[in-house]
Amino acid sequence: VDFTLSSEQAALRESVERFIERDYGWEQRHAVISSTDGLSSAHWGMFAELGWLGAGLAEEVGGFGGGAVENAILLESFGRGLVVEPMVAHIVAANVLARSNAARAAELLREMIMGERRVVLAHGEGMRDSLTATQTRFAGQRISGRTTMVEGAGGGDMLIVSAIGDDGVLALYLVDPASPGVSVRRYRTIDNHRAADIVFDAASPVCALTFDGDAGAVLSVALDQGIVALCAEAVGSMEAALMMTRDYLQTRKQFGVAIGSFQALQHRMADMLIDTEMARSILYHALGAMEDDTATRRSAVAAAKALIGPAGVRVAAGAIQLHGGIGMSEEYAVGHFYKRLYAIERLWGDSALHLESFATRADVRL
Amino acid sequence: LQLRLTPGDLAFREEVREFLRSNLPDDLARRARYDYHPRRDDIVRWTRALAERGWSVPHWPVAYGGADWTPLQRFIFEDEMRAGYAPIGDRIATELVAPVLYTFGSETMRARYLPAIRNADTIWAQGFSEPGAGSDLSSLRTRAVRDGDHYVVSGQKTWTTEGHHADMIFTLVRTDTDVKPQRGISALLIDLTAPGVTRRPIWTIDEGLTVNEVFFDDVCVPVENLVGEEGAGWAYAKFLLTNERATSAEVPHTKRDIAQVRAIAAIERKNGRPLIEDRSFRERLAAIEVDTVALEYAVLRVLTAENEDNPVASLLKVRGSELRQRVADLACEALGEAGLIVCPNPEGEHVMREEASSGAVPDHGIGIAAKAMFRRATTIYGGANEIQRSLIAKTILGL
């Protein structure tokens, strides 16, 4: 067991941190979240140039030979910087395409890695009951149904849509969002990310995505890759919220002393640090299980999401509380960490769903 | 990042399992499963079985009879020992006292005490807390006055774990009253059978005997029993407590307790079905398991960190001790009303009160209520969690 980053991984982290520092200041971020699409094409181009869009993909599929760990490094820093560009959605879609044997998939994936095209997964309706279930149907070569909270769908060039066929089996299809029968209703979420509800009314797919194995299994792997990346983002946001609160407690004076000298505040901070360190620890556990058999991987990812979701909300809520009034200001970052962590708790299955799926599975240990 | 055990680690684990299969007697395993405070004869038998294999103090340096194991090996070993229901040995001696002795003690001291610890010939207690000095340990008042080649010790220690069956006690005593409180403290090894030492049991709310009061009434202690330098006792105690916190997460024990909850909940029934199938119960158990997975990885992060006296250990103690309480409470709840019945250790050395009710608690519930009661202590001993939180805020967060 070794928790230190390799030199390549450390270099990746450094390059992301540099980007956040140089290109993702408060004003720069404000410009992004105020824009129509809620993302910056310039940033996306930079992500491609820096190799981040393929950092978590194997070389055989045109990636740079990394995996879930590289994605986690990327997203952890994104979490610190409150980056809103839809990187998790990119990771999920790329992981679906990377496992497809369709020629079109390989081509799309190459374009994604180059930053020339954005593809997102349109799957799920609330994800309250299950991660992989869908009500969307594929019949007579047409797709009908609806899907909600599709991150990045607004600017996406291509959708991967899950649908159940006449045989009752889930399959994945490429659908052009501009094609007839597809209607997209976009919205902004509390964390300033962009998502959409999409209705398919007898839409014609471009093609079916084929796999050597089962499409449901591929979907599950891709979702887990996304969830673990999201967990890494949460850890980054938790650490940043904690540290900015620490700095504030050291400088803010009341009753003639720094408020960090008060024991009630110190103990709350200690609990927030414990939550953060436990979150990081279970993230490592999940990352270590990504190449394991399905049951082990699922269980480890569910455990991570079940722990990190509520822990993130607790830490960020504590960060607001300890800041006092200023923590409520929209012009101040701490509230934005809260909103992002609040959203992460819910996205890709809330902690109730993940705890339930962990509870129904076998033990996972080292 | 290497986030899983390597094939070498797994082979080592299998070796430990095999040792347990061939060497752990059934009666020791049974009593370990009941999980009352261990009996002295169980500690001795098991330590000697381990010593024959060279595993009774494997984390010590080879020079003192250890195996120089890495912290990770030791963790795997402890994990298997708990999972396999091996008795818990004399951890005060092997994990707390011995590292102080081989780090700060004289050559004579090492030669005299370390082999006896390795073979459980001598059982140790730790004499820190006093009636007036708990969390504020540096205010301790037990006096040791130098008189020729002896110290004369008078005062009182309390909450002395293992005091009832120990031979020796590692004490903190005041040797100088004219300096800053911490500077006047020395570490002294005292023979508990010496004239002037009186021990009195403190029965705890589990109706078990773990802790004691120890009175020193002009006890003569040879000066060669002074550890290191006079006045340096506080530094040694801090060193010792750091070692304690590193293992205080007690993840292997909590993992075993989780397995025990599962076993109980498979037998107990609710709405005509095994309790383990009840959704609310299962999810509360799952929440404990999830926290344990995180804690286990947090322990591994600390164990493999380059800086060994990591303040992060405080953090493990807080979360670990709370988890120990939660899992014991859930086990007791799973047992239903039988979890409320007094059940003295059926094979115990010390029983507070003989009861006629034996047999009222099913075998899978023996020890459960007592464990749930005694676990209230986990957030107090080894530095109360409130002290730990203050320490975390100061040393890690710089507040």
Q: What's the pLDDT score for residue A166?
A: 94
pLDDT the model gives residue B246: 64
Average pLDDT over residues A342-361: 93
Residue A73 has pLDDT above 80, yes or no: yes
Place B17 in a pLDDT band, splitting at 50, 70 and 90: very high
| pLDDT above 70: percentage of residues in chain B | 97
Q: What is the pLDDT of residues B35-75, one digit of tens each?
A: 999 999 999 999 999 999 999 999 999 999 999 898 899 99
Which residue in chain A has the smallest CA separation from B395?
A270
- Closest CA relative to residue B98, chosen from B77, B84, B112: B112
Q: How confident is the model at residue A1 (pLDDT cuts 50, 70, 90)?
A: confident
- Residues of chain B with Cβ-Cβ distance to A4 below 8 Å are 1
Q: Which long-range contacts (CB under 8 A, 24 or more apart) does B239-243 make?
A: B239/B99, B239/B100, B239/B103, B239/B104, B240/B96, B240/B97, B240/B99, B240/B100, B241/B382, B241/B383, B242/B309, B242/B313, B243/B95, B243/B96, B243/B99
Q: Is 0.95 surpassed by the pTM of this model? A: no
Best of B290, B301, B387 to disrupt the A interface by mutation (most A CBs within 10 Å)? B290
Residue B339 CA neighbour count, 13 Å, CB half:
17
**What would the pLDDT profile of B368-380 be if each residue is shown by its tens digit?**
999 999 999 999 9
Per-residue confidence band for B310, with pLDDT thresholds at 50, 70 and 90: low
| pLDDT greater than 80 at residue B356 | no
Collapsed DSSP state (helix, strand, coil) of residue A182: strand
A10 touching B, CB under 8 A? no
- How much is the pLDDT for B312? 77
User: C-alpha distances in angstroms, B282 versus A201, B66, B115, B226, B262?
Assistant: 41, 42, 47, 53, 9
Is pLDDT above 90 for B348? Answer: no
pLDDT at position A331, please? 94
Tokens of A208: 């079916």
Q: Burial code of B250-272, b = ≥16 C-beta within 10 A, e = fewer?
A: bbbbbbbbbebbbebbeebeeee
Q: For B24-36, what is the mean pLDDT?
A: 96
Pairing relationship of beta strands B150-157 and B209-222 according to DSSP bridges = antiparallel
How many interface pairs between A and B have CB atoms less than 8 angstroms apart?
137
Tell me the per-residue pLDDT of A277-308, one tens digit each, with 9 for 90 and over.
Answer: 999 999 999 999 999 999 999 999 999 999 99
φ, ψ dihedrals at A137, nearest 5°: -115, 150
* Cβ-nearest to B315 among A263, A273, A285: A273
Predicted confidence at residue B311, as pLDDT, reads 67
DSSP output for B304-351: TSS-SS-THHHHHHHHHHHHHHHHHHHHHHHTGGGGGS----TT-S--
- Chain B: residue whose CA lies nearest to A306: B290
Mean pLDDT value across residues B338-355: 87
Q: How far is B69 from chain A (nearest CA, A)?
A: 15
Tell me the average pLDDT of chain B.
93
**Residues of chain A contacting residue B72, judged by C-beta atoms under 8 Å apart:** 1
* pLDDT tier for residue A153 given thresholds of 50, 70 and 90: confident
The reported pLDDT for the residue numbered B41 is 96
Residue A366 confidence (pLDDT) above 60: no
Rounded distance, CA A299 to CA A303, Å? 6
- The predicted structure's pLDDT at residue A23: 95
Q: Is the dihedral of CA A348, A350, A353, A354 positive or negative?
A: positive
Q: Do A284 and B297 touch (CB under 8 A)?
A: yes
Give me the mean pLDDT over the B298-307 stretch: 84
Distance from CA of B44 to the nearest CA of A (A): 31
Interface of B with A (CB under 8 A): 1-6, 9, 72, 255, 279, 282-283, 285-287, 289-291, 293-298, 300-301, 304-305, 312, 315, 318-319, 386, 388-390, 392-394, 396-399
Give how far Cα B285 sits from Cα of A47, A302, A355, B255, Å.
Answer: 42, 14, 10, 12
Closest chain B residue to A259, measured at CA: B399
- Average pLDDT on B231-237 reads 95
pLDDT at A364: 42
B367 has pLDDT over 90? yes
> For A210-236, how does the pLDDT look when each residue is reduced to its tens digit (9 = 90+)?
999 999 999 999 999 999 999 999 999
Which of B334, B265, B331, B259 has the alpha carbon at shortest distance from B289?
B259
Q: Is the pLDDT of residue B146 over 90?
A: yes
Q: Which of the two residues, B71 and B113, has the higher pLDDT score?
A: B113
- Angle (deg, nearest 10), helices B312-334 and B233-247: 50
Query: Is B399 in contact with A250 (Cβ distance < 8 A)?
Result: yes
| DSSP string over B196-239 | TEEEEEEE-TTS-EEEEEEEEEEEEEEGGGB-SSTT-HHHHHHH
B289: tokens are 């398991």
pLDDT > 80? residue B102: yes
The pLDDT of residue B355: 73
What is the C-alpha separation between B40 and A272, in angstroms, rounded?
41
Instruction: Point out the residue among B287, B294, B389 whose CB comes nearest to the CB of A278.
Output: B294
